[in-house]
A and B are shown apart, each in its own frame.
Chain A
Amino acid sequence: MNDCKGNILIVDDEKGLRLGTKRLLEEEGYIVTAAENGTEGLQYGTTIDFDVAVIDLKMPDIDGMEVLKEIKRTHPDTVCFIATAFASYDTAIQATRIGAFGYIPKPFSPEELIYQIELGIKQRKLILDAHRLEQEREKNLLELANEKSRLNAIIKSINEGVIVINTNGDLAYYNYSAIKLLGLSSLQIGENVLSILPEQINEIVTKIFRSDKIMLKSFSTELSLNRENEIFLEAACTPIPNPDGSLAGVVIILSNITEYKRIEIIKNQFVSMVAHELKTPIAAVQGFLNIIKDETLNLPVDKKKEYLNRSTQRLKSLTDLVNDLLDISRLELKTKQKEIIDVNLCDIVNSTLQMLELEIAKRELTIDKNSEDNLPFIKADINEITRVVTNLLSNAIKYNKRNGKIFIDLNSSQNYVILKVKDTGIGMKDSERQKLFSEFYRAKNENTRGISGTGLGLSIVKRIVDSYYGIIEVDSEYGVGTTFTIKLPINPN
């Protein structure tokens, strides 16, 4: 009923007037309910929320004032008029006090009635609008409160520390992470925190405060705090502007960068070790050449020849080292796409043994190889697996005793293919075994003298095995021998 102009209640015991009014208003487009006495008026008025009610003051059963009172009590938004022939100033005031919007003196002309009803409808609209606006405002306030508490919950739960201070250096906001990262026991909103904050942060904040014009950028600093363990923090201090452009305060974001620092240290150590390992063979070659060139030494020809051979050997090791470094770099960067195919580990062991035949013969070693029948294939990159096998077998040759043995065993469990390489070599002490897979670690003792290696081989082996979610184990007894076991998943997925 969108085209309906309003819902009207007429309460009047005078039949002619009641029906005339009803007809008139209906013609005007209103829906009209007519009550013929106070009782009926009360019944309608208290059950239906009318837009406008016109109530006759004098009725035989219940007084119009009573009807008005009850309607206003049950439906305060219904706009009520009192209509009466006994107009008096007092009744008007009384009616208004009870809640009447207006007073229509009888008799009234149709125009006058319509005019009053239209006023009433307008009033009704205003009342409803006001209600709606109020509800909306309340809803918005609720949303705002929710938003605020949500934002608060987010800031409180992030790992980064957040501290906001005003231009006096008083604490305006903080989260728990800030307390934790700074190692403080507590913070108080409103307390002056500049002196509590680490010196470096204090300096930046003071610089921001002292600056003539507000700088809309962050100022970062790294600081280390020594507690039980040293932790490194990055503090980013950003000015907060007021709407007028003046400085409101500073927000400080604290991040824990300890892990990055640790990685940086490891990286620097690695680079230093690489540089050292590259420089040493160069120095050795240069030293030999200097001696060969030095005529004052009167070096015999065969000595010179020997030194040239040894130089060549050192350069070969240097090349191996560079290749190993490149391999490590490739494995680390994972730039090289693995070409995954079905790989028969037994075939790889056989071809590697063939390749190393000369070295095996030179050291007069015996190979004892056992393989399970129908060993399952593994899904892997054949070059990488060959690299692993070559490394383990050449170690078993290099570190073996003359006339020693190499036991090779290939078998499978439910998910893995297992390769065991056992030698009868010099073995390792526990302390040596622990460092076995670290870069550039080579056991150095009288037994390893003259055995060349880059110190990267097993580190590469481990990286490859790890990349297939495989397992590498080592068992060794000093002076007796070493056993390497690698377990490679049949299907790494």
Chain B
Amino acid sequence: MITDKIKKILLVDDDIDLLEQNKTLLESRGFQVITAENSEDGFKTFQKELPDAAIIDLIMEQMDSGFILCYKIKKTEKGKKIPVFMLTSATYETGFKFSTSSKEEKEWIKCDGVLNKPVVIEDLLAKLENFNYQ
């Protein structure tokens, strides 16, 4: 069971509707969910709560707020071990071309995967399952 490996998930999103939706979905699957509405609070919450996974909206105060938060999380001891996913509606079809499929892209974008909005809970669970926990 994924809930054996992951108990606490951090959600960071400046859109309070999407934040609440994802919180509802994840709680219904038995996760404990903590939230933040900007990248600064997101990092503070991460350091305080040390969650087992993080899902971060890409475009918040700045175009790349999500990337920067992800980068900061991945630099911490805990962050290196947990899955961190980016959440965005700015994918290929909107002209922001990025993915984490190639090695080079992974070098730059430290996150472990990209999720499209709105989140399909099954996809998210599958991604969490597939993460290579050490």
Contact = CB atoms under 8 A, between A and B. Distances in A.
Interface of A: 268, 271-272, 275-276, 279-280, 282-284, 286-288, 290-291, 296-297, 299, 310, 314, 444-446, 449-450
17 contacts: A272-B90, A275-B94, A276-B94, A279-B90, A279-B94, A280-B15, A280-B89, A283-B18, A284-B17, A286-B118, A287-B21, A287-B119, A290-B21, A290-B118, A297-B28, A444-B38, A444-B60
A272 B89 contact: no
Interface in B21-72: 21-22, 24-25, 28, 37-38, 59-61
Can you list the 6 inter-chain pairs with the closest CB atoms, starting with the nearest? A287-B118, A275-B94, A283-B117, A272-B95, A279-B89, A287-B21
B14 interface: yes
Given A276-B59, A279-B94, A287-B117, 9 more contacts: A276-B94, A283-B117, A284-B18, A284-B118, A287-B17, A290-B21, A297-B24, A310-B17, A444-B38
Which of A268, A280, A297 has the most chain B CB within a 10 Å cutoff?
A: A280
Contact of B18 (A275, A287, A297, A450): A287
B62 to A, nearest CB: 9
B108 interface: no
B125 interface: no
Contacts of B77: none
B4 interface: no
Given A276-B90, A290-B118, A291-B21, A284 B95 contact: no
A360 B59 CA distance: 32
Contacts of B94: 272, 275-276, 279
Contacts of A446: 37
Nearest to B63: A273
B16 interface: yes
A279 B59 CA distance: 12
A321 B112 CA distance: 33
Given A275-B94, A297-B24, A297-B28, A450 B16 contact: yes
Contacts of B117: 279-280, 283-284, 287
Most chain A beta-carbon contacts within 10 A, residue among B14, B89, B119: B89
Nearest to A311: B17
A283 B89 contact: yes
B16 A268 contact: no
A275 B93 CA distance: 8
The majority secondary structure among interface residues of chain B is loop
B118 A449 contact: no
Instruction: Decide if the interface of chain A is mainly helix, strand, loop or mixed.
Output: helix
B17 A296 contact: no
B48 to A, nearest CB: 18
Nearest to B24: A291
Nearest to B58: A276
B96 interface: yes
B57 to A, nearest CB: 10
A299 B27 CA distance: 12
Contacts of A283: 18, 89, 117-118
Given A276-B89, A310-B17, A449-B16, A296 B119 contact: no
Interface string B1-26: 00000000000001111100110110
A42 B24 CA distance: 127
Contacts of A280: 15, 89, 117
A303 to B, nearest CB: 9
Q: Select the residue from A276, A282, A310 with max chain B CB neighbours within 10 A.
A: A276
Contact of A275 (B22, B38, B95, B119): B95
Nearest to A432: B61
Contact of B38 (A276, A291, A296, A445): A445
A284 B119 CA distance: 10
Contacts of B59: 276
B76 to A, nearest CB: 25
Interface string B99-122: 000000000000000000111000
Given A279-B117, A449-B37, A288 B17 contact: yes
Output the residue of A268, A275, A287, A291 with the most chain B CB within 10 A. A287
A35 to B, nearest CB: 101
A444 B61 contact: yes
B51 to A, nearest CB: 21
Given A279-B117, A297-B24, A314 B96 contact: no
Contacts of A276: 59, 89-90, 94, 96
Contacts of B25: 291, 297
